[in-house]
Structure 1
Amino acid sequence: MAKATKASQQEAVLGEFAFFNFLWTFYRNNRGMIRREYRDLTKKFLDFNDPDHNPKAFLRTPQFEALEMYVFLKEFLGNARVEQIFKDWFDRAGKFADRTEGGVANSQGQVTLFEAVTREQYQVVFDMMKRNRRTYPNYIFALTMGTGKTILMATCIFYEFILANKWPKDGKYCHNALVCSPDKTVLQSLRELESFPLARVVPPEYVNFLTTHIRFHYLEETGTSLDTLDKSRFNVIVSNVQKIILKKKHKQDSAIDTLFRATPEVFKEAGTVYADAADLYGFDEPQDEAELTTNQRFEKLTRLEQLGIYVDEAHHAFGKDLAKDMGIGAKATDTSLRTTIDKLAAKLKSAGTQVVACFNYTGTPYVGKTVLPEVVYAYGLKDAINNQYLKTVDLKGYTNSRTSEFVKIAVDDFCDQTDGLLPEGLTPKMAFFAASIDEAVNELKPAVERALIDRDIPASRILVNVGDAKYTSNDDERAFRRLDYPESEKQFIILVNKGREGWNCRSLFGVALYRQPTSKVFVLQASMRCLRAIGDMQHTGHIYLSEGNLAILNNELEQNFRMTVEDLKGAAKDKETVEVRVNEPVRIKIKRVRREFHLEEKVLTEGADLKFNMADKAAWADLTDRYRLMVTHRTELGPGKISDRVTDLTAQRSKLTYSPLMIVSEVARYLNRSPFEVEGLLTSSVQGMDATVEVVNAYNELLHDLIIPQLFGHLFTVSSTMTPEEYEVDLVKVPAEGFYRVTAEKDKIVRETDAPAVPVAHKSFHLDTYCFDSKPEQTLFWDLIREGKVRKLYFTGMLTHGQSDFFIQYVDPDSKAVRTYYPDFLFEREDGRMVIVEVKGDHQVDTPVVQAKREFAEQMAVASGMTYELIKGTDAEAHSYARLLN
């Protein structure tokens, strides 16, 4: 019984503990510190794809966050294996030496404190990670379907190649990429890798390099060989897993095979003439043709250096099959893709190179009741629907219906629901999944034809794709691939075992599945096909299932997404897309401060004071306290008695050991001065070179925070001037099509028509609808609109993509780049003074980014004769806003 209890406890831990949440929290809370260790080229690549930095950035939020995590694992953690990362995180060692207890953000963006992970919980998860570890780093990115995993994967490969070209000897970067897909359908979709416009995700100065150097190789047909040059770089090999996977040999060699199959040993014994030419006979290649194509590809892969492996659509298998594909519980004799990758990694290592890492892109972080241990980033199905990356769901289950009745009900409802709908000029499509070819041809197709006749829809709108040339011609296959083209006339698609994965038909709006298939997970895979987003607004996907399939779907959702059918139906139901129109074009006068810096070089002198003195204990403590790692251990001595013991773990922090040459090189690079000149300055300084090396090795941060700035001040004089420049700006630009589309939670949408109950509603609503991000914003709005001391009130925080000229530019403390910030409110007080207000969550108020926004906003406000106020969310909800009016 005790063992059973312990096993159930372990199962509970593995089912609930998601390390990727803690990893993301650490990254988010320390983004500035982490980015300081990135190369400039890496920062440039990230900034180009960051929507906060580049308004034209192409990647969606989950794609960019996953890219951030990808770079974080590589640049900051050095491609460490997940179990080592987890161990260092728990022990506060290495790169996590400065980690503090934090929180995990919930779906509303609020941070909730979590309990410290216990040693027992840690051991259970760590043991799981160790059992499934590989000889190479193995990461899982779990992004639900429709969020753009293929584009994300392409972006990661482009990033790898750009960095590998710049630093070819750095083992962190991939020189070649092997992309594995589970089946032919996904393999076809991966052609997007080659056709995808690089300029969308690659800074313009690197587009030509990639276009010129990348070579794509597609292994589609059984007889296709891989023709990469040995030790070449920048190859992208795209293959169905069956084309590279190692196969077991089931057939024993006959006596004749043994006799006539010459070996290297036979030729060596035959004399030097044959022995010298032995390599021409290809003894490493088997003779059987099927085995030859498999091994030829595998052998070719072993001759490429610095190989990165990308497993796309790893979620084609769920549950136990997904566990096997990920190597969980797989035996050494398994002939799975994971085993092939393990063998490939071993062969590359023996050749003096390596598999840099294996990156798996899957749709779920779960295998049944267990969280996959190597997930490093996850973005779930419900979040994707809530944030409009997928359609909302209309799901209907039917009982006691024969095939013809079910089909007619489904077709009628689908046609009624999509009547007049033509997103992007495409006709909405509906897919019927049959359990067999016989059912598709002899039952389902006639039933669909009868349902269409009743609605005067021609039977030519039907397309049958069952994988049998007798019923599906080449023209049908071509039509199937062109469903998302405006000229496509097909609308009702009958499928057998098709379109489960990799079928990216965005105009698919309906799925019907009546008979129970052999595979239960097929219900989940088929149902999700109609949820891909299309157009500039969120549409609805319609799913029609028998009662039995509905129960299967509910179970599969719980197993793979930790949600129910009701959760799926309810996702995004609390959100609404509204058309926002301009009631009152408002123009205001503001003054933006233009700062000019003038740099004058001083006469070069010796004796620079670097402002540190290790002998002065008090001054040294003041200088270094912020770099020390202090941990408090709290012990309960009895009722009401608590003892706090503080331990200094600074010595355990990971740091570099600098030599004088390294310090001179780093300073010279930053100041753009001769290394000989820098060496002379450090040597002749008040503290001297030896002391400088000592303090930098004690606290690496002092090199950039103290030594370099002091030398800069010794070499240059900086003066600045501030010039206020007055502008008249539009609070909101009038949209060309007459309105803006904005999506928000229904309870945070306030329309002008909601305001008659407020007698002073005329004081606001320069737009006919306000969409608030949070309850504190909405509470403050109603408080201020009722406040007698407020003459005019404008909510300005909802249009943040160039629809307003009322913005503040600030310097981001992490990237040092100039960014744009749109405050939440602007209101006019009774005395005529204008006040700018920003509402922030309590946990965000003191962050460097918010403080940087505040600093630049206050400069603009003062220059414009305004006031800037930053108010905490809890104060807004508590109606504590009096200081805004004083």
Structure 2
Amino acid sequence: MFYPIITKSANDWFLSKDCHIKDLIAYMQERQALRDAQIEAIKTYLYLKIKCENKPLWQLFNEGYFDLDLKLRDLPIQFANYLSKNKQMLTLYALSHYLPKKDLMQHIQRLFIQYEIQGIDCESIFKSLFYNVFYTDYLFSLPMGAGKTYLMAAFMYLDLYFAQNEPHNKAFAHNFLVLAPSGLKSSIIPSLRSIKNFDVSWILPEPSASKLKKLIKFEILNQNKTNKKSNKIQNPNVSKIASYQPYESMFGLILLTNAEKVILEKLDKNVLYEKLNEEEKRDWSSANELRDNIAKIPNLGIFIDEVHHATNDEVKLRQVVNTWNQKGSINMVAGFSGTPYLKSSEKIFIDETLKIEHKEIANIVYYYPLIKGIGNFLKNPVLKTANSSNRLEIVEQALREFFTNYETYSNSIGGKIAIYCGSIENLEEQIYPKVCEVLAQFNLDSSCVLRFHKGNKAYPEPKDALNAFENLDSDLSPIRVILLVQIGKEGWDCKSLSGVVLSQEGDCPKNMVLQTACRCLRQVDREKREKALIYLNDFNTKKLAEQLKQEQKMDIEDFQYGKKAECIEIKRFDRTQKLNLKTIDFYQLKLIFENYTKTKADPINAIKAIEPQKQELIIKEQDFNNKILHTAIVQRQDKKQAHFNLWLYELIKESFHTLSFEDLRPFEDTLKKLFSHIIYKENGILYFKADYDEKALQASIRGAFCDKRDFKAKKELIPQNAHLLIASKLSSPLFVENTKDFIPEQEEVLRIIDEDCGKVGIALNQQEQEIIKQLESLGQFGAIKAMQDRANSHPHKNNTYHYLPYQTDSAYERYVFEQILSLDSFKKLNLELYYNGDSSLSELSIQTFHKNTNLGRYTPDFIILQRKAKEIYKILILETKGEAFVEAFKGKKEFMSEFIKANNDKFKYERFSFLYLQDNIHKDSKLISTINDALNNFFDTTT
């Protein structure tokens, strides 16, 4: 509600001379690892931490911290003078502009003007607006897929970075508690573990990033039972915390837990302790013990994920945090949510008659709407409403749509579709059999289906379902269809999920249709336009529209098209049938590897020949611009105790069961000599030498027991036929910000399609059309055709454009395309030119390799064809390259010679040729002559 004021003030501060974090933000932007939503949130966070000194929101508003940008000159003079001298009243007046009801704003203004302002307690109003909490409590609202967990990690590392520089500055947290809300432990805690994987160099340069990473200690407090066999309170979670004592010097500790089970449990003070049984007393004391120990952690920052759920226990949670805050341990609370809305309106009374009423969580400091994420870091939703009310018909329609139009991603992970089933019986008895039936038609079987539910008496929980569910984004996962009951409605991070089906009312809670439908919007390949299918029945479509309006202030049309309303519409068309363009036959070269033993293992002599190797640790220091400031060679500072038997155990363990102690026993004396080289003794204790790499030595010993193997490679030719257009993937319309990459222009596209449909003469003016009518009466049909040919939208439209328009990758591609069409040789040889550079639309790609190394698939830019008796006879593969990409393409370019020769030998004539054009070499007259020579030399002029 009030975040626009905070956002404006943060932006103004960032542009001011007083802001000292500009280089830090510039570094993050140059790294390009974080999303725009995350970087903007970080700017607001640092503004509140540095400029606003981490003060609570009620205090910031009460003290007039924010730039309100008010035009007081439009008010009565006495009123304007009063407000300019009273920051509290000025802020309250400003807030009235952001409240939803206009009459409320007018009422407040009227109160001011009538001098009733003296009776208003501004400080109490501000405290009431922000829930009467005295600790710092900020809420960051970002949609799912924006990277809230990584943003949380960024906040933690930034606090630690500044806290190291200013250890006594209370604005920055030293330790952190991450709370998953009640009831969401199973879905949210696993995703929060990704904090461990956060790359600190995304926000801070080296060596600061690595130093901070080493400071982090990560603990999950997931055990909430006291040891029943002990008379003492032994909460295992307390033991985890206590292991990092002393409390006053704790730094970099991150605790992760579930709010209800660990923090809020046994909090009700109305229960009489004396009436509890022994086990209940033990649990009560255990929970209190944990809360008391957390209170001892200094400078504690609390992070709450999916904070809109925590509002169910907000009284309890704030009660606990207030208690901690009174003990002086709380630095701040930061909440994260994609839907920061309350179930019912909150009312704050200014006086007996005037109240502020709102449905947004009041302490939002940063807001990034869902609509900005669509097409940015979220997939573009394709919303379909079923034309049936029958559950199984809807499921079948959705599956057919999905498997026809949704593909595998660039990392070979298959796109997946989730079907929410409402009940276990529906899943097992109706939907699962129907899904298997449909999949069989796409040559897929039941191994591609995951059934995931908690089970009941009739149907137990499917074996290994949880493991399969947690590994859906693995390229080893065979799953394509996920059937769910009461799982995966939110907090489910599966990027390869590309479809959601809600076929009936009750498949998910009525108030969660939006959250459930959005599960499939997480982006897989950054900066790539991806789409996701959302298939709903009529009831769920209406609910989706309602919730978009209420929670995101957007229409369902905006949801489907995101920012497309501001973009240019591009309609696309398939012309392959018009051009009679069939598949291209060729042979794919495939490498077949055969392994063989080159040298048998000789451990006796091999172990004797091993010499321990020394190692160096190189440290590089760099600034925010990645400039290397200092390089040094240092030794490891850590001391690691050495034990011969444990060292051998590690050696065996890392052999993956290929070695045993029995294998090593004959070489024990030799191994002890090697071990003695890498250790030293101090005060009677053995340690590994810092300048030797004991892991490398272990690897050499394991290698001594291995046969030396090699491989032979042979090549096979695999017959292929490829469509130059996969028609099912030609989505239309597209919505783009500019049309420079598309040829021809949309107006010309539509004219070509009209002409294909028989609407001839559409480009003739009225006078020319009158002349044609006169020629028709005279029977001069040759003259009519000549006039119509001159008026054609494109003179070569029957020799190119197998789909319209082409979306090219570079200006050089467009330049080459235009030059080829203008050549006399192209017309004389009756050639056809087709753009093939969009790998998502063409099947014609070539598997390449160089010196027995796989180089990946290569999709040529252009294909030039010549027919013989209406069949494709000769094919010139044409590649264009910018100077910057020459080196990367070098191996594939060399391979093309082998590909051309192998195919021509197989077809027994010169069927293929390859032409390579480089933008800094082949331009102007040299480009023309190079293409002309290639066309005249390769294509048979007699056909």
Counterpart CA distance in 2 for 1:47 and 1:402 is 54
- Are the structure 2 counterparts of residues 253 and 309 from structure 1 closer, same or farther at C-alpha, using a change threshold of 3 Å? closer
- In structure 1, list runs of 5 or more residues that go unmatched: 1-17, 103-114, 262-285, 326-335, 579-742, 758-764, 771-801, 805-886
Q: 1:187–1:239: 8 Å Cα contact kept in structure 2?
A: yes
Q: 1:395 pairs with 363, 378, 383, which one?
A: 383
TM-score by length of 2: 0.50
Secondary structure, in 3 states, of the residue corresponding to 2:374? helix
Counterpart CA distance in 2 for 1:385 and 1:209 is 36
Instruction: Provide the residue aligned with 1:297 in structure 2.
Output: 290
Which has more radius of gyration? 2
Counterpart CA distance in 2 for 1:80 and 1:251 is 33
Secondary structure, in 3 states, of the residue corresponding to 1:180? strand
Stretch of structure 1 that moved more, 355-364 or 184-193: 355-364
Please list the CA deviations of residues 219-274 of structure 1 after superposition, one character each: whole Å capped at 9, or x if unmatched. Answer: 2344451322333222111112222124345996697879xx9xxxxxxxxxxxxx
Residue 454 in structure 1 maps to residue 441 in structure 2 = yes
Q: How does 1:616-635 map to 2 (within 5 A)?
A: none
Instruction: Provide the residue aligned with 1:530 in structure 2.
Output: 520
Q: 1:417 pairs with 405, 424, 434, which one?
A: 405
Q: 2:49 pairs with 48, 70, 74, which one?
A: 74
Q: 2:451–2:482: 8 Å Cα contact kept in structure 1?
A: yes
Instruction: Provide the residue aligned with 1:170 in structure 2.
Output: 169
Q: 1:430–1:508: 8 Å Cα contact kept in structure 2?
A: yes
How far is 1:549 from its partner? Answer: 1.2
- Are the structure 2 counterparts of residues 525 and 256 from structure 1 closer, same or farther at C-alpha, using a change threshold of 3 Å? closer
Instruction: Provide the residue aligned with 1:135 in structure 2.
Output: 134
- Are the structure 2 counterparts of residues 225 and 481 from structure 1 closer, same or farther at C-alpha, using a change threshold of 3 Å? same
Q: 1:398–1:547: 8 Å Cα contact kept in structure 2?
A: yes
Q: 1:128–1:373: 8 Å Cα contact kept in structure 2?
A: no
Q: 2:13–2:47: 8 Å Cα contact kept in structure 1?
A: no
Q: Aligned AA for 1:344?
A: V
Instruction: Provide the residue aligned with 1:551 in structure 2.
Output: 542
Q: 1:371 pairs with 347, 352, 360, which one?
A: 360
- Are the structure 2 counterparts of residues 23 and 573 from structure 1 closer, same or farther at C-alpha, using a change threshold of 3 Å? same
Residue 225 in structure 1 maps to residue 225 in structure 2 = no
Q: Aligned AA for 2:214?
A: T
How far is 1:524 from its partner? Answer: 1.7
- Are the structure 2 counterparts of residues 745 and 211 from structure 1 closer, same or farther at C-alpha, using a change threshold of 3 Å? same
Instruction: Provide the residue aligned with 1:25 in structure 2.
Output: 8
Q: How does 1:317-466 map to 2 (within 5 A)?
A: 317=309, 324-325=311-312, 336-337=313-314, 339-350=316-327, 353-367=328-342, 370-386=359-375, 388-418=376-406, 420-466=407-453
Q: Aligned AA for 2:255?
A: I
How far is 1:187 from its partner? Answer: 0.3
Q: 2:145–2:522: 8 Å Cα contact kept in structure 1?
A: yes
Counterpart CA distance in 1 for 2:273 and 2:743 is 87
Instruction: Provide the residue aligned with 1:239 in structure 2.
Output: 257
Q: Aligned AA for 1:453?
A: A
How far is 1:521 from its partner? Answer: 2.3
Q: 2:468 pairs with 476, 479, 482, which one?
A: 479
Please list the CA deviations of residues 383-414 of structure 1 after superposition, one character each: whole Å capped at 9, or x if unmatched. Answer: 1114x210011111225432221111111111
Q: Aligned AA for 2:455?
A: D
Counterpart CA distance in 2 for 1:402 and 1:159 is 53
How far is 1:117 from its partner? Answer: 12
How far is 1:306 from its partner? Answer: 1.1
- In structure 2, list runs of 5 or more residues that go unmatched: 69-82, 95-104, 113-119, 226-235, 344-357, 571-732, 749-809, 816-882, 886-943
How far is 1:213 from its partner? Answer: 1.9
Q: 1:125–1:373: 8 Å Cα contact kept in structure 2?
A: no
Secondary structure, in 3 states, of the residue corresponding to 1:59? coil
Residue 48 in structure 1 maps to residue 33 in structure 2 = no
Q: 1:176–1:235: 8 Å Cα contact kept in structure 2?
A: yes
Q: 1:510 pairs with 499, 502, 519, which one?
A: 499
Secondary structure, in 3 states, of the residue corresponding to 1:530? helix
Secondary structure, in 3 states, of the residue corresponding to 2:411? helix
Counterpart CA distance in 1 for 2:212 and 2:300 is 17
Counterpart CA distance in 1 for 2:296 and 2:746 is 71
Counterpart CA distance in 2 for 1:378 and 1:526 is 21
Q: 1:391–1:531: 8 Å Cα contact kept in structure 2?
A: yes
Secondary structure, in 3 states, of the residue corresponding to 2:474? coil
Query: RMSD across aligned C-alpha pairs, in angstroms?
Result: 3.9
How far is 1:766 from its partner? Answer: 5.2
Counterpart CA distance in 2 for 1:367 and 1:251 is 27
Counterpart CA distance in 2 for 1:525 and 1:415 is 24
Please list the CA deviations of residues 295-318 of structure 1 after superposition, one character each: whole Å capped at 9, or x if unmatched. Answer: 332222111111111111224x4x
Instruction: Provide the residue aligned with 2:554 in structure 1.
Output: 563
- Are the structure 2 counterparts of residues 494 and 756 from structure 1 closer, same or farther at C-alpha, using a change threshold of 3 Å? closer
Counterpart CA distance in 1 for 2:471 and 2:552 is 31
Instruction: Provide the residue aligned with 2:306 in structure 1.
Output: 313
Q: How does 1:584-595 map to 2 (within 5 A)?
A: none
How far is 1:208 from its partner? Answer: 3.3
Residue 541 in structure 1 maps to residue 532 in structure 2 = yes
- Are the structure 2 counterparts of residues 148 and 444 from structure 1 closer, same or farther at C-alpha, using a change threshold of 3 Å? same
Counterpart CA distance in 2 for 1:390 and 1:451 is 29
Counterpart CA distance in 1 for 2:492 and 2:111 is 40
Q: Aligned AA for 2:195?
A: L
- Are the structure 2 counterparts of residues 233 and 447 from structure 1 closer, same or farther at C-alpha, using a change threshold of 3 Å? same
How far is 1:43 from its partner? Answer: 5.3
Please list the CA deviations of residues 596-648 of structure 1 after superposition, one character each: whole Å capped at 9, or x if unmatched. Answer: xxxxxxxxxxxxxxxxxxxxxxxxxxxxxxxxxxxxxxxxxxxxxxxxxxxxx
TM-score by length of 1: 0.53
Q: Aligned AA for 2:523?
A: A
Q: 1:365–1:378: 8 Å Cα contact kept in structure 2?
A: no
Counterpart CA distance in 2 for 1:160 and 1:197 is 15
Q: How does 1:673-712 map to 2 (within 5 A)?
A: none
Secondary structure, in 3 states, of the residue corresponding to 2:464? helix
Q: 2:174–2:252: 8 Å Cα contact kept in structure 1?
A: yes
Instruction: Provide the residue aligned with 2:714 in structure 1.
Output: none
Counterpart CA distance in 2 for 1:72 and 1:422 is 39
Q: 2:452–2:483: 8 Å Cα contact kept in structure 1?
A: yes
Please list the CA deviations of residues 657-706 of structure 1 after superposition, one character each: whole Å capped at 9, or x if unmatched. Answer: xxxxxxxxxxxxxxxxxxxxxxxxxxxxxxxxxxxxxxxxxxxxxxxxxx
Counterpart CA distance in 1 for 2:734 and 2:396 is 36
Please list the CA deviations of residues 491-523 of structure 1 after superposition, one character each: whole Å capped at 9, or x if unmatched. Answer: 100111211222111100000012222621232
Counterpart CA distance in 1 for 2:288 and 2:144 is 33
Q: 2:175–2:297: 8 Å Cα contact kept in structure 1?
A: yes
Counterpart CA distance in 1 for 2:747 and 2:541 is 45
Please list the CA deviations of residues 334-391 of structure 1 after superposition, one character each: whole Å capped at 9, or x if unmatched. Answer: xx155324323323423xx2311111111134436633321111101001114x2100
Q: 1:86–1:126: 8 Å Cα contact kept in structure 2?
A: no
Q: 1:81–1:136: 8 Å Cα contact kept in structure 2?
A: yes
Counterpart CA distance in 1 for 2:167 and 2:48 is 19
